[in-house]
Structure 1
């Protein structure tokens, strides 16, 4: 049975992704900063007959917490097949480049960018023991520099500096990491679940968590011939589903 760790999985898109992966027969480590909230979410899944789930405490901004989670999974599984870096924050609003406090921007980067790096580097050892390791970095269409430079883009006016810059940096990290792992059976991709109705955006998005999770899984559970180092978006309507960087 393949194992997957999803960070920030106690609610919203992360929780729905856990549910759908459980339905596909994977063992899911449901990552949550609060073990209590994670345990509550895991118990709700078990009550639906989805037994192969375990809450695990992981704060992506806390190296000790990350190491503890890694040690637990190593002891129980010996390896990890899939890492879904889903945890993220939007930061306080308004966010304007001219006057946003640098400390606020750094706080968003600590979770959305540096948190992903800390978690990924900690779990690489276990991922390398898998026959088909996958790393999916959950990003946003707002991380597209091409989009932000195009006045005709539908989200052109939406430019929260902390969030935009953190996701653009995450996309860049994804490209570099995928390149470094290209000679191993890794697939490393940035996946934008689309503008989804969640508490993250006061439920303003048109998409559903079910669609968002399904899209993440589509570009995570891939075969050995699948691309790596790509930026997929659920808001792109063409056949490739690739977003411009």
Structure 2
């Protein structure tokens, strides 16, 4: 008997997350669209369902322990295994204040979503991931998470100086490697991807690529199969990125 593969994408009611959810559903998966706001999530789900895709809503606020716990419990009532987890939810609070003047509350809030969120969600869904026998976890990173690129004067990333966002993505790379080491024995792949400079609300739509183009790398890593890589950092073109 063929069992339909299950996927969960956080922060998926718009932007890259919505494009990832759509792409995974088009690949034949049953997708749980994670959204913090129920109404926005329902609109996104309806949009995809209207095109014939198998997409359902799961309310989840990655910055809230109780919300993530509830989401994990709800999913466990409906599915026996989770084959793909895409930790997409992320925020950029302040793109103009220099590091020396950045509010500590904003730094903490950024880490709560961009770093602690993926850690919290991954930990909560590990039982379902283990049950899938060959699951894949994808962390949505950034070129700003590469210490090599942000210190390379020839890289465009070296021209950006966002303490809170950059530090959270650097730390996310480390968390990815740690999860990859632990979960390798369970055939669970854990990788981080760099979607490129995508047109999203996060950057006031100043990006140069579409959400669909930015979603491509995440979809590729989410569907790599048991023989795919783990513990890696990959760019929009699928190439390995420097840490």
TM range (shorter): over 0.9
Deviations 1:200-224 (A, max 9, x none): 1122111111111122111220022
Could you say which residue in structure 1 is the equivalent of 2:242?
244
TM-score where L is the length of structure 2: 0.96
Could you say which residue in structure 1 is the equivalent of 2:106?
104
Could you say which residue in structure 2 is the equivalent of 1:2?
5
Could you say which residue in structure 2 is the equivalent of 1:175?
177
Whole-angstrom CA distance in 2 between matches of 1:40 and 1:169: 33
**SS of match in other structure, 1:94:** coil
- The runs of 5 or more residues in structure 2 that have no matched partner are none
In the alignment, which of 144, 153, 157 is matched to residue 151 of structure 1? 153
- Any residues of structure 2 matched to 1:197-236 within 5 Å, and which? 197-234=199-236
Deviations 1:18-39 (A, max 9, x none): 1111111100000000111111
CA RMSD between the two structures = 1.1
- Any residues of structure 2 matched to 1:79-158 within 5 Å, and which? 79-158=81-160
* 1:39 equivalent in alignment to 2:42: yes
Give, in angstroms, the shift of residue 94 of structure 1. Answer: 2.1
- Any residues of structure 2 matched to 1:43-62 within 5 Å, and which? 43-50=46-53, 52-62=54-64
User: Which 4+ stretches in 1 moved above 3 angstroms?
Assistant: none
Task: Pick the structure with more helix per residue.
Answer: 2
**SS of match in other structure, 2:186:** coil
Give, in angstroms, the shift of residue 93 of structure 1. Answer: 3.3
- The runs of 5 or more residues in structure 1 that have no matched partner are none
Give, in angstroms, the shift of residue 138 of structure 1. Answer: 0.5
Query: Is 1:194–1:233's contact at 8 Å kept on the other side of the alignment?
Result: yes
Number of residue-to-residue matches in the alignment: 240
Deviations 1:113-134 (A, max 9, x none): 0111111110001111002111
Whole-angstrom CA distance in 2 between matches of 1:34 and 1:197: 21
* 1:17 equivalent in alignment to 2:15: no
Could you say which residue in structure 2 is the equivalent of 1:64?
66
